[in-house]
Every structure is written in C-alpha cells, then in structure tokens.
Structure 1
C-alpha cells in the first residue's frame, strides 16, 4: 500500500470540502424546493416554485403534473449548486451562523426583488399576502443557514484535519 505525501493529503482534503459543498448545495436545493412546493400546496405561499424555475419559460401542460414538480425540484438542485459554490468561494472561512442567515436573506432579495422582471407570470412582492412574505423570507433564511453552516462546518473540520496532518 502506497502512502500519500502530506501535500497530496492536503489537496485531497480541500477537494473533499468542495465536493461536500456541492453535495450540500444540490441536496439543499432539492429539499427546500420540495418544502416550498409543500408550503404552496398547503396555501402558506401564493407563489409556486414552479413559477420561478419552470413556467416562466415553459407553458406546456406537463408542467402542472407531478413531472413538473420533479423537474422543478431537480432544477432547483442544479441552481443551488451555483449558490453553494458562491458561498464556498466567498464565505467558507466564516464560522458564524449569522453569515448564512444574511446570505439567505440576500438570496431572497436578489430572487424576488432584483430578478423579478424576468419572471412574468408571478405577482410582485407588494401584491403578496403577509403569509407569503413571512414564509418565503423564513424559507430562504433557513436555506441560507443550511448551506452556510454546512459548508463552514466542513471547512473548519478540514482545517482541523490539516492541522493534524501537519503535526504528524
């Protein structure tokens, strides 16, 4: 059995953190898309996640079936890869949960206020009920916290592993 050098172990450790970040992003996108779909189903939201990711560009009948929900969920996971990668590049070294909370709120602001003109079939934020406001903001804060805390935790854990490798 071949022993790896310290440099190879450190590179593998950094690659592992990036891979875990991408897994976290995909899983977070899928889970929170399903959660948002359930909230829409139970009338906590007036805005369906399909409206942002799918029906703004595709107007086929299949988008209103379970296939539309599945496709939207997978698409949310793919988009979330970019969100997680951005967090990994910019904030991974910060271990405080507040960064994830703020990150989630910034994502909400970007999606619902800045990118609003792109999505033509969705009512403006000012037309939403208070229930939709609170639910979407809380959902995005929870999503940002999930992404942020998971990535930062993995990064800090890898730094501890690197310290152990360097000391040996």
Structure 2
C-alpha cells in the first residue's frame, strides 16, 4: 500500500513554466490568427495575417489563396512563441486578466502604428475602416488575455505547487 502511494506521487515530469508559455504562445497565435483570417474572410477586417506576411512582399496570385492564409496562420503561431516569452519575462507574476488585455492592446498598437511602414500591403491606420480597427483590436485583446492569463496562471500554480512540495519534504 505504501508503494502505491509513492507511485501516485510519482507523476509525469512537470513541465517548466517557460515550456508551457511557449506552448501557450503557439496555441494562442494559431487560434487568434485563425479567427482573424475568418474575420477577413467575412469582411469584418480589411487585413489578415497573409496581408502582413505574404502580400506585403510578393505580389503574386497565390498570396490571395487559402494556402497563403493557412501558411500565414502557422507563421503567426510560431512568431507568437516569441511574444509569449515577452509576456513571460515581463508580466508573468501579474494576476488577473487586465495585464493580458493591456498587453494585447499594446501589441495591437505596435503592429498597426509602429510596424505598418514595414508592410506595404497594409494601408495606413487612418485609411482602414472602423470595422477593421475594432475587430483587430478585439482580436489582439483576446489574444493578450489568453496568453497572459494562461502564463500567469501556470506561473502561480507552479510556484504554489513547488512551495507545497518543499513544505512537505521539510526543506
């Protein structure tokens, strides 16, 4: 019976918070950029990930296809890992959804105000419709809440669990 209890305590190796942050960033980038592609398809937004990634640099027919959208969603998901690490290194100890919402809004501002000159296929901010402003801002805020809340939750869970393990072992 004592062996069974010992085996129950031996669970799968715990992943680090940084590893979970990378997975969260990838999942968040995949989910929210796919929703952004859907918003573009249904004309809620004038821009999509493919507008940024492919249409800004190549003026070919294939950049307007579904393949370009799928590839750009995957690229955004990979880039989102880096964004998740920015959140991890700066705001992981903050609790609640507000740090993530602010992070998403700041990220939206960086993309649409700072990085727009790098992407010639994207019209200037004032040339975009208010539907695009609202839709993309909401997507970025939701992305920030998803990534931020997930990372901070894992961080606090990991530290709380680590503290309880050290207290049980008498360390």
TM-score of the alignment, normalized to the shorter chain, above 0.5: yes
Partner of 1:128 in structure 2? Answer: 128
Deviations 1:127-149 (A, max 9, x none): 11111111111111111000100
Q: How far off is 1:20 after superposition?
A: 0.7
Structure 1 residue runs of 4 or more that deviate by more than 6 Å after TM superposition: none
Partner of 1:56 in structure 2? Answer: 56
Q: How far off is 1:77 after superposition?
A: 0.5
Partner of 2:68 in structure 1? Answer: 68
TM-score (norm 2): 0.87
* CA–CA distance in structure 1, aligned partners of residues 150 and 136 of structure 2: 21
Structure 2 runs not aligned, ≥5 long: 1-5, 7-12
TM-score (norm 1): 0.89
Select between 62-71 and 16-25 the one with higher mean Cα deviation. Answer: 62-71
Q: How far off is 1:28 after superposition?
A: 0.5
Partner of 2:27 in structure 1? Answer: 27
Q: How far off is 1:42 after superposition?
A: 0.6
* CA–CA distance in structure 2, aligned partners of residues 96 and 149 of structure 1: 6
* CA–CA distance in structure 1, aligned partners of residues 62 and 83 of structure 2: 28
* CA–CA distance in structure 2, aligned partners of residues 53 and 93 of structure 1: 32
The 5 A counterparts of 1:16-165 are 16-165=16-165
Partner of 2:9 in structure 1? Answer: none
Asked if residue 166 in structure 1 is aligned to residue 166 in structure 2, the reply is yes
- The higher radius of gyration belongs to 2
* CA–CA distance in structure 2, aligned partners of residues 27 and 58 of structure 1: 27
* CA–CA distance in structure 1, aligned partners of residues 53 and 102 of structure 2: 23
CA RMSD of aligned residues (A): 1.6
Q: How many residues are matched?
A: 158
Name the SS for the 1:120 alignment partner: coil
Structure 1 runs not aligned, ≥5 long: 4-11
Q: How far off is 1:59 after superposition?
A: 3.0
